[in-house]
Amino acid sequence: MTQPTSPVTLRITEDDLSLLDARVGQQGTRNRSDVVRLAIQEFLHNQPLLTDMKTVKIPLGRYDQTQLAKLYELQGVTPELAAQEGIKLYIAQALERLAASNDPLDAALEESRVATMRRSEYQE
């Protein structure tokens, strides 16, 4: 059973209206209202749990979707969990690569700090 709806007036640019019209007929939408409702639902329901969290939307091709579906069937790994693990792995590897180039810079910075004499007029 569908819930009753309320009409809402909305002002958008011509460019956004063109993008909206281009979505009509996709994902089961029949008209502009369906597209707007779907967009609102996706926006409101896909918000992060905490205010300081961010959401990342990743477009997936058919191959990746198929592989993720297999992974879910075999191990119960959701696409979201796979993406989180992939991001963590990427960050760890990137930081590891950067650490090698940052070590000499960090050592030079520390050496410079030690060599700098503290002056009383610059301290509180």
Q: Is the pLDDT of residue 43 over 80?
A: yes
Is the Cα dihedral 43, 70, 67, 76 positive or negative? positive
pLDDT in the model for residue 117: 66
- CA 17 centroid distance within chain: 25
Q: Is the pLDDT of residue 38 over 60?
A: yes
For 58-100, the pLDDT digits (tens) are 899 999 999 999 999 999 999 989 999 999 999 999 888 888 7
The mean pLDDT value for 19-40 works out to 90
The mean pLDDT value for 21-44 works out to 89
The mean pLDDT value for 36-57 works out to 82
pLDDT in the model for residue 99: 80
Q: How far is CA 81 from CA 76, 84, 104, 112, in A?
A: 10, 5, 36, 44
pLDDT in the model for residue 120: 63
pLDDT in the model for residue 119: 63
Q: Is the pLDDT of residue 118 over 90?
A: no
Percent residues over pLDDT 90 in the chain? 43
Contact 54, 48 (CB under 8 A): yes
pLDDT in the model for residue 87: 93
How would you label 23-57 residue by residue, b for 16+ Cβ within 10 Å and e otherwise?
eeeeeebeeeebbbeeeeeeeeeeeeeeeeeeeee
